Structure 1
Amino acid sequence: MDIQNTIQKLREELNQHNYNYYVLDKPIISDYEFDLKLKQLQELESQYPEYFDENSPTQRVGGTITKNFKTVPHEHRMYSLDNSYSKEELIDWEKRIQKVLGDVPLEYTCELKYDGASISITYENGKLKRAVTRGDGFQGDDVTNNIKTIKSIPLELKGNFPDKFDVRGEIILPFAGFEKMNQELIEIGETPYSNPRNTASGSLKLQDSAEVAKRPLDCLLYFLIGNNLPFKSQFEGLETARQWGFKAPKEAKLAHNLEEVFQYIDYWDTHRHNLPYETDGVVVKVNSFHYQDELGFTAKSPRWAIAYKFKSEQVSTKLNSISYQVGRTGSITPVANLEPVQLAGTIVKRASLHNADQIEKLDIRVGDTVFVEKGGEIIPKIIAVDLSKRPENTEPTKYITNCPECNTALVRSEGEANHYCPNFYGCPPQIIGRIQHFISRKAMDIEGLGGETVALLFNNGLVHNYADLYELKVDQILPLERMAQKSAENLVNGVANSKNIPFERVLFALGIRFVGETVAKKLAKHYKSIDALSQATLMDLILVDEIGERIAQSVLDFFENEENRNIIERLKQHGIQFEIIEKINPNATNILSGKTFVVSGVFEKFSRDDLKKAIEDNGGKVGSSISAKTDYLIAGDNMGPAKLEKANKLNISIISEDDFMNLINQTDAATD
């Protein structure tokens, strides 16, 4: 008997049966027969370990223990989606698209928005290589061993597929499986899980993959991304993915206009309750990949896709009290403390009241019966008061005048909705909040240090600002509650490792008001060092692309403060990266310095990304849209008519990819 051939045939047969059962929902053998074949394969693999394959069906049973999930970068960023809550907002979205593309016929792919945990899975040569959680969109946790236990995810693909590509999917827990898991917990006297989404998400980070294998998780594919994909549209991609072995929901539909999109939304708003898993809306995508490329992305979301959220579930409950929270910038947020109530699968005890104006507008009073809904199915909010149930003799809510933490008189600037505590350097929640922001994943990403530990360090007098973190010693940390030798060492090592974080993330970590992740990148790229940024004038800052007066003034205020300057000097002494480390490219020049290019269309010799990189490598700037500041439009095939019309109207030079290369080469030759 040819053992290797027998093993391979068993694997292929079991993979096909898995596909029949979990993807097609059409099994052709019984569970008992399947288990016998799987057992036979396990025994053969045990006897002949030289034929081990990490993608064998036997690996789906789990058993791998992962104590620390490795953080890895996404090769292709995972963006979030913009939300809409009305058909009018979808009409406005289409108008924005047509403003970029012109009056071209548009098709849309409509898909249900499943409520689970997003995953990115890389396939190489038809085999599952790696699975990574969304994380912050730029990087996530490697959960490959756990993902392999989900039987609707193919370990090996069928048919003709590219050498390498990523699939994006949603890990979900069907209602039937969720109810079965909860029933088993109730029977043994344990607390049941609160909702399918959180349970699915939490399952991905279980340390024992054998425990993950016991959970009836499913994966619904919604996107493929990579170079040289053999299809040109979203809908065609979903159909092709099914042929390769993926579970791409059949509910997806191609709509030829916005009216058909509305029909799809109306149908599923009624019929979604008949689905076997949770869905909270519809995702609408421009179908053509070419048009998707033309539209591009904002800082957070694709311009070519939008989520339509179904109307939120509402419940009524009693408002027991109002408390006030202090954020890291000193902003005061009033919070409604509610009589616990079930809402959209979770128990809600608190809801945001936003600000004093919102309380006054709704005339919210303690003791009222209020209507609560989840804004975007995530954050509970009070939307109205049931005045028919208002108790007699209630008094209008008086907003606090002093900080609930440090008793400093609150201030409210003209034109702003929120009250602020101005005690920036003495108010404990502000200090703790700034340090928590500093260590967060998108900022310094300090492993071994969480928000609760920051509060513990502050309350025990070990840190008063984020520079103090770099002077912590293991023996100082050990006496603290819940701190053992290993956890103290991990904390100190995590702080030390953060010295390698690049300047743009350090700048974001400093917590300058209004300087978010995107603004920090722009400022870091423009000024290249903290010293140059600290010396900039108001007008210098305003002249930086997309930096307005409010941001500019906030940056000036930050550097004018002596304590901030002292903290930065201390951080410098500890080796924090306060300047951009330029990646050396031997072919880089400054030939295109001061020139702005917009890239549009499909090209023969280069990808759009290659052209953009060539522009930046030679000192130029890539613009996302055509404006009076644009110097050149590099035009490929099938370019949107709106861009062409605008370029001609503004007398912008329109060049081909060959013209662009000649521009670089001629200018280069002139300098030789």
Structure 2
Amino acid sequence: MPIVDENAEDNPYLRDPPTDFEPVEELSPEEAREQVELLREAIREHDRRYYVENDPIIADRTYDALFSRLRELEDAFDLDHPDSPTRSVGGEPIEEFETVEHVAPMLSIEGSGDEADVREFDERVRREVGSVDYVCEPKFDGVSMEFVYEDGGLERAVTRGDGREGDDVTRNARTIGSVPQRLHGDYPDFLAVRGEVYMPKDAFQEYNRERIERGEDPFANPRNATAGTIRQLDPAVVAERPLEVFYFDVLEASDLEESHRAELERFPEWGLRVTDRVEVVDDVDGAIDYRERMLEARDDLDFEIDGVVIKVDDRDAREELGRTARHDRYAFAYKFPARAEVTPIVDVAVQIGRTGRVTPVALLEPVDVGGVTVSRASLHNPEEIAEKNVNVGDTVRVQRAGDVIPYVEEVVEKESEGHYELPDHCPVCDSPIERDGPMAFCTGGLACDAQLRRSIEYYASDDGLDLEGLGEKSVRQLVDAGLLESVADLYELEREDLAELEGWGEKSAENLLAEIDSAREPPLADFLSALGIPHVGPTTARELAREFGTFEAFREAAEDDPERLEGVDDVGETVAERIHEFFASEANAAAVDDVLEHVSPQESALASGGDELEGLTFVFTGSLEGVTRGEAQETVEAHGANATGSVSGNTDYLVVGDNPGRTKRDDAEENDVPIVDEDEFRDLLAERGIDLE
């Protein structure tokens, strides 16, 4: 094992380093520069010890103190450098990646899952170059990249791309801890190596758990998570995600070794991390045996592999074997069969829905189900978990029906004791989790961040206030940007803040604000549905609006007289109790009050009217003059028509006001739906004796 540099005694930050530093203002520029160089040298060595040798010699908090001191000095004395370890914390986002040519072609590997094809490869090799040794390595299932070092410093990191050129993702690669900014030891003046960027399986499961609990879609497998991360335009995002690298080949170097095994032995000396699962064998039978042993060990590894790679060791033999246009002829991938339907549960995450419903989700070793790789499966609810007696560690059979999330069908091998128990408190907001029959619910309401995003989405959806331009993607973007921390924040959005977001502009910002402004006086039924009260969808909301007429009357009954709610169509004892619990929550009540500072729900007109518009379906977009869009919707509904949020072949009229959304107009043209402006709409109503005012 390589030891700490022989000059360690000259660097006080290597062994038992002090962390009580003198104030920055007391240092001269020369003293600061000397301390910075010592800190950089020490941190690089600590990185090598941690990532390559897996043998750290200082505690994590000591490392953090050294790192913070280095960053402090670089900032105070303007001593930034491209090779500095502090570059690993990210930087400013970029607009796009530059495409660059590889130092040497990054070709694919010929492969098969049949033993006969492996033996045929061996016969061809021995026929052309004679008897050889093979280096056997895991076939990593990550993202292959080229790393170029010049004079020991990381010059660039490039994705494989088409094998000839790829994207320059150097700034992102610098944020990965196992990518050294500078090489160690006696390294070549020029070195281009091939490495595999990956997300460790345990880190992937934890990262997916966090995404699920934040209400975001999880990644399908570690490879997808890695590929999506390495091409982020913001290096700070990459720095937050748990990526690692294994290096496994030399593409080009100013000083080449005679064999592949010799290269791999030198990699750790240079600070390049390699797997300890490499073996050298002297014939194809040894390679086949290696593959079988790796297949058995597959589930115990903390990185995904989908086979093994068998490489000719001798470099001269490699050159003699040559390459085709697509792959090197000295290597062969002996692939594993795909996992199918049966897989172990690694962890269980708790997903919080819009209404607070708690859904346990099994995080799986990725498995092929119906031709699709899945890494999660629904466990539905606590009652079903108990019935199936399923827990973390059990091997289960996974089924998939259509495009819905896969589900755990049964336990195949029971490896745990008992069944999984839901936590007592919400993992997002720490509010108590309560059971309601077979279901469980977070009691945090709109104070729960997981429910917040979905609540905003629902508030703006077709079943809510129908705010065009506020879909799942845009709501997530606004929440992530810190512009939305409550539903009420929708009404305080500023055009300048919106226009600065990626993918937005002045026009789209103005359209959204106009859309929100048009919904400040919504029909009572729409407002009740938009609040996301459990079990209160559009139909029930309409019945409640018809019964109570005003929001004040409805809320008074909900808070003080829930039995009165039970007399309303579509509302029974259970629904009435859920409505009462919603308003009994201080957090929910406060959130509703905040919204009411911006919104004035209109008195319902549903109790009066006639059937003049019976059988017609209207869709509205844009803002109207004299009345709100919500009032117009309620008017047509009061006279027997339907008012929906999206255009379809069943729509009779699309009513277009000022600043309309483009989507509904396009849908109307595609479905041959008549498009009318406000004057034409008023004329249509007047013909039937209906006054819009």
TM-score normalised to the size of structure 2?
Answer: 0.46
TM-score normalised to the size of structure 1?
Answer: 0.47
Highest Rg: 1 or 2?
2
